[in-house]
Amino acid sequence: MVEPILRAPSQYWMLIMMWVRSSMAYPASFVLMLFSSMVLTVMDFVAIVLMFSHISSFGGFSLAEMALLYATASITLGIADLFTGSIERVGERIRTGTFDAYLIRPVPAFLQTAADGFALRRIGRPLQALVVMVFAFSRLDVDWTVARGIMLVVSIAAGTVIFGAIFVLGAAFQFVSVDSAELANSFTYGGQTLTQYPLAVFGKEIVRAVTFVVPLAFVNYYPVLYLLGKPAPLGLPSWIGLLSPLVAVVMVALASLAWRGGLRRYRSTGS
Amino acid sequence: MGVYWAIAVRSLRRFSTYRIATASGAFTNTVFGFILCGIYLTLWHERPGLGGYDTADALTFAWLQQGLLMPVGIWGATTTGELGERVRSGEIAVDLYRPTHLLLWWLSVDLGRAMFQLVVRGGAPLLVGALVFDLKFPSTPQAWLAVAAGVFLAILVSFGIRYLVALSGFWITDTRGMEQLALVLSTFFSGMILPLVVFPGAIGAIARATPWAATMQVPIDIWLGRNPGGTGSALLFQLGWIVVLLLGAQLVTSVATRKVVIQGG
């Protein structure tokens, strides 16, 4: 049980490096694609900046505070998309029957599906978000301590894991319904769009749903509220922002169960 | 004429076969509709009457935007994507020796796709949105007619742009850069990231003059009856871009046809 898990990182690394080498065969093309990925994904922040040409506060958040929300949402989704986003193509592999090939190779099918077509250019999204984060912190007056720094880094890692788990859950559902790849987009890309705004503006029901059902609020909202010293909605305690690693662990457990369940269900194609 | 109608009908049938994929796509459009409504409600609460829209206009915009996204093909469409792929791979040769016009053939394929997606990917989210929120609908038969014309012309404008991008493959071997550029321009200038009425000053004026405005912002404004120069001038604006784009597309088609060399085998 332990040995396959210890071997997984190096196996995954080997698989993605293969794709990185192939994309580096045309360096100029890679740089252009990386650049256009940054331009395309920064549009959501451009929209926020355009809004702030008319308003000075959005749901009680200033532009710099919105920038921090945007940056944390975009970094976490961007890294999760980079490392696990390809898994959404599993439905196509199930339909065509090429998924069989993954099952007979000496590497877990999960790693092969997650690494399939690894596109390093997707790092454009977290990169532009990092620039926005630097902008946010240059304008914000955060009382920095070592503990807060660690908390920020840990929350971003936990948020990334939560989004990654949602990608895997969406992929696992495709074992049941092959053509439903786009369904997961509601929670991944939709989740990113949602979490780059202060969730309280969407109303109490939505806040409840993204706290207790699909825990998107733990990706960045509660940690950012804690960091900025703002009160949590629904009368929740402010230390709820420290719980995101715990939520990430629960999500990973759920995603792993779902993926295993899906894999057991797999019967290959009939043709 | 009959042959193009037949192509469009078959294209519509082809797209109607992917039922689960269409349903999950419509679900995603609906989720995004709700998210946009939350954002717009806050924005118009902070600045009532922003850009000449009231809250009902803004909410309707959110659902129409999600409804038009796929039919119009703001982020590209399967059909013109396939055309680009055929240009790259050389399969376009098969299309060229058919006794039909290349542009009209692919236009028919695209219209068949658009009509199916308009009903399902456009209708379903709008229905959900109308059940939850108080949305605006055109009130007179003439207004509905203008909306139908505006949406049809929007699809034509979008097709013109996508066709030109696909045919750029005759001259440049790697069209991915071109496709990305088209995607960025379309996302920014169509009203996809934010209604163009919210764009401040000169950026707004420039955005509203581009062909991408004619693909989303203009038909939505026709629906809302909010076009600055009236519905007639909005339709003329769309027609103007269609003439430019389709003339360009026809020119590019004939130049490309003369240029292409098919390897015998």
pLDDT in tens, B138-186: 999 999 999 999 999 999 999 999 999 999 988 887 778 888 889 999 9
Question: What is the distance in angstroms between the Cα of B20 and the nearest Cα belonging to chain A?
Answer: 6
- Whether residue B264 is predicted with pLDDT greater than 60 in this model: the reply is no
Give the span between the Cα atoms of A247 and A154, in whole angstroms: 12
Question: What residue in A sits closest to B174 (Cα-Cα)?
Answer: A29
CA angle, corner B193, sides to B179 and B111, nearest 5? 55
Closest CA to A270 of A170, A150, A178: A178
Lowest mean pLDDT among A121-130, A245-254, B256-265: B256-265
Q: Residue A260 carries which side chain, given as an amino acid letter?
A: R
Give the span between the Cα atoms of A190 and B127, in whole angstroms: 20
Residue A202 DSSP class: G
Phi and psi at A74, nearest 5°, equal -75, -35
Question: What residue in A sits closest to B46 (Cα-Cα)?
Answer: A55
pLDDT in tens, A40-81: 999 999 999 999 999 999 989 999 999 999 999 999 999 999
B120 neighbors B28 (Cβ within 8 angstroms): no
pLDDT in tens, A64-75: 999 999 999 999
- Which chain A positions have a beta carbon within 8 Å of B32's beta carbon? 186, 190, 193
- CB < 8 Å from B in window 46-65 of A: 46-47, 50-51, 53-55, 57-59
pLDDT of residue B247: 96
- Mean pLDDT computed over A134-156: 91
Pairwise CB contact (< 8 Å): A46 & B188: yes
**Can you give the C-alpha Rg of chain B in angstroms?**
19
Torsion of CA A232, A222, A238, A213, to 10 degrees: 80
Q: How confident is the model at residue A114 (pLDDT cuts 50, 70, 90)?
A: very high
Give the span between the Cα atoms of A192 and A160, in whole angstroms: 11
- Mean pLDDT computed over A21-35: 87
Residue A198 DSSP class: -
- Whether residue A1 is predicted with pLDDT greater than 70 in this model: the reply is no
B34 neighbors B178 (Cβ within 8 angstroms): no
Pairwise CB contact (< 8 Å): A43 & B183: no
Give the span between the Cα atoms of A133 and A152, in whole angstroms: 12
Question: What is the distance in angstroms between the Cα of B264 and the nearest Cα belonging to chain A?
Answer: 30
- Which chain B positions have a beta carbon within 8 Å of A203's beta carbon? 38
Pairwise CB contact (< 8 Å): B194 & A44: no
List, as one string, the DSSP characters of A241-262: GGGHHHHHHHHHHHHHHHHHHH
* Cβ contacts of B63 within 8 Å, gap of 6 or more: B33, B37, B125, B126, B129, B130, B133, B135
- Mean pLDDT computed over A91-108: 88
Question: What residue in B sits closest to A31 (Cα-Cα)?
Answer: B177
Sign of CA dihedral B114, A37, A123, A186: negative
- Which chain A positions have a beta carbon within 8 Å of B25's beta carbon? 182
pLDDT of residue B90: 84
Q: Between these two residues, B169 and B264, which has the higher pLDDT value?
A: B169
Q: Enumerate the H helices of chain B as residue ranges.
A: 2-15, 19-46, 55-68, 78-89, 92-96, 102-117, 123-132, 141-167, 176-189, 201-209, 217-224, 231-259
N residues, chain B: 265
Question: What residue in A sits closest to B181 (Cα-Cα)?
Answer: A36
- Whether residue A97 is predicted with pLDDT greater than 90 in this model: the reply is no
B75 neighbors B193 (Cβ within 8 angstroms): no
- CB < 8 Å from B in window 9-48 of A: 29, 32-33, 36, 39-40, 43-44, 46-47
Asked if B259 has any chain A CB less than 8 Å from its own CB, the reply is no
Burial A66-97 (b: 16+ CB within 10 A, else e): bbbbbbbbbbbbbbbbbbbbbbbebbebbeee
- Whether residue B77 is predicted with pLDDT greater than 70 in this model: the reply is yes
Asked if A186 has any chain B CB less than 8 Å from its own CB, the reply is yes
pLDDT of residue B265: 46
Name A58's bridge partners: A61
Asked if A269 has any chain B CB less than 8 Å from its own CB, the reply is no
pLDDT of residue A184: 87
Pairwise CB contact (< 8 Å): A54 & B31: no
| ipTM for this model | 0.89
For B126, half-sphere exposure in the C-beta direction (CA atoms, 13 angstrom radius) is 18
Question: What is the distance in angstroms between the Cα of A109 and the nearest Cα belonging to chain B?
Answer: 24
